[in-house]
């Protein structure tokens, strides 16, 4: 009995530590970042195109656009590919192959991001520069690298969602004379839609938050990107690049960038959990 209680309190303490950490982090970024937001103005901070922190110019528009470009590109690469793999493993692959594929895909999630960045820098960047032009370090390189990095998230959650669709739905569709593909496309995937959307949103969260691999391949220029071959900076890569050297208002501006990211990721997670909950109910 005593042991039972002990374990209970221990677990409670661990759980509270997690909550406490989150609170501390939130308070800290807000405390560090808010002064510059108030002084410089939130709207100006978000819409000004000049980032020259040592001259008191703190516009993160270029980084917001960079993040949008890179994340959008990553989804273009990762979502169709990830969904295709999820459909293949749940519906088409022989069980043995599916059993082999699953750990292989999960292994992708375990590769450190710096390795993705290094491969991108050594293989993708020269390929892009020589065949498509531009400096090679580009939105495109970032999108391709991130597209592969978000595959495990998308595949795992989409697979779960597809598997969660009751067998009755498939049987019903097949009984009405639909082919395997028709029942999948018209019945199973729509039924799994909320789970699939959740997987995409979580993949997006990963793409927005990834830093190291992105620093290595996007070029980190401060221009507003207008083509996939342009170099860009994302919100996270700019923090990673400048944090070590930053002081004073510059440092606060990086924390303010953190606040923007914080709310963006919170929003994405909120969307993802809402969609996920719906799947479970269905």
Contacts with another protein by CB under 8 A lie at 21, 24-25, 27-28, 31-32, 50, 52-54, 62, 114, 117, 121, 125-126, 129, 134-137, 212, 215-216, 219-223, 231, 233, 241-247, 250
| Of 111 and 178, CB closest to another protein | 111
Q: How far is the CB of 208 from another protein (least distance, A)?
A: 19
CA distance 225 to 66: 7
Min separation Cβ 54 and another protein, Å? 5
Least Cβ distance, residue 25 to another protein (angstroms): 8
Distances (CA, A) of 189 to 50, 192, 218, 230, 281: 45, 5, 34, 36, 16
How many Å apart are CA 109 and CA 207, to the nearest integer? 13
Q: For residues 191 and 172, what is the distance between their CA atoms, to the nearest angstrom?
A: 13
Residue among 62 and 85 whose Cβ is closer to another protein:
62
Which residues are within 8 A (CB) of 261 and not within 5 positions of it... i.e. 6 or more apart?
A: 208, 209, 235, 236, 239
189 vs 214, beta carbon nearer another protein? 214
Identify which of residues 167 and 247 has a Cβ nearer to another protein in the complex: 247
Query: Minimum distance between the CB of residue 172 and another protein, rounded to whole angstroms?
Result: 54
Q: Give 54 or 106: the residue with its C-beta nearer to another protein.
A: 54
Beta-bridge mates of residue 51 = 58
The CA distances from residue 120 to 115, 140, 152, 212, 237, in Å, are 8, 11, 18, 12, 15
CB of 220 to another protein, least distance (A): 4
């Amino acid at each position: 009995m005593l042991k039972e209680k002990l374990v209970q309190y221990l677990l409670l303490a661990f759980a509270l530590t997690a909550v406490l950490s989150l609170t501390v982090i939130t308070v800290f970024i807000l405390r560090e970042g808010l002064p510059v937001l108030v002084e410089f103005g939130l709207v100006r901070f978000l819409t000004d195109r000049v980032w020259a922190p040592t001259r008191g110019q703190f516009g993160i528009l270029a980084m917001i656009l960079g993040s949008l470009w890179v994340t959008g590109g990553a989804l273009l690469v990762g979502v169709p590919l990830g969904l295709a793999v999820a459909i293949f493993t749940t519906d088409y692959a022989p069980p043995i192959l599916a059993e082999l594929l699953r750990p292989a895909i999960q292994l992708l999630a375990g590769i450190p991001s710096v390795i993705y960045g290094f491969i991108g820098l050594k293989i993708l960047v020269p390929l892009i520069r020589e065949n498509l032009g531009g400096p090679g370090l580009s939105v495109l390189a970032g999108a391709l690298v991130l597209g592969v990095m978000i595959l495990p998230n998308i595949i795992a959650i989409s697979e779960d969602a597809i598997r969660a669709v009751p067998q009755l739905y498939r049987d019903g569709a097949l009984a009405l004379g639909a082919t395997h593909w028709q029942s999948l496309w018209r019945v199973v995937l729509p039924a799994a839609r909320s789970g699939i959307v959740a997987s995409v949103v979580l993949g997006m969260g990963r793409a927005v938050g990834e830093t190291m691999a992105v620093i290595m391949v996007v070029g980190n220029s401060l221009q507003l990107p207008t083509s996939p071959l342009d170099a860009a900076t994302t919100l996270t890569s700019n923090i990673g690049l400048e944090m070590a050297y930053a002081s004073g208002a510059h440092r606060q501006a990086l924390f303010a960038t953190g606040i923007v990211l914080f709310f963006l990721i919170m929003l994405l997670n909120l969307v993802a959990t809402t969609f996920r909950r719906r799947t479970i109910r269905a």
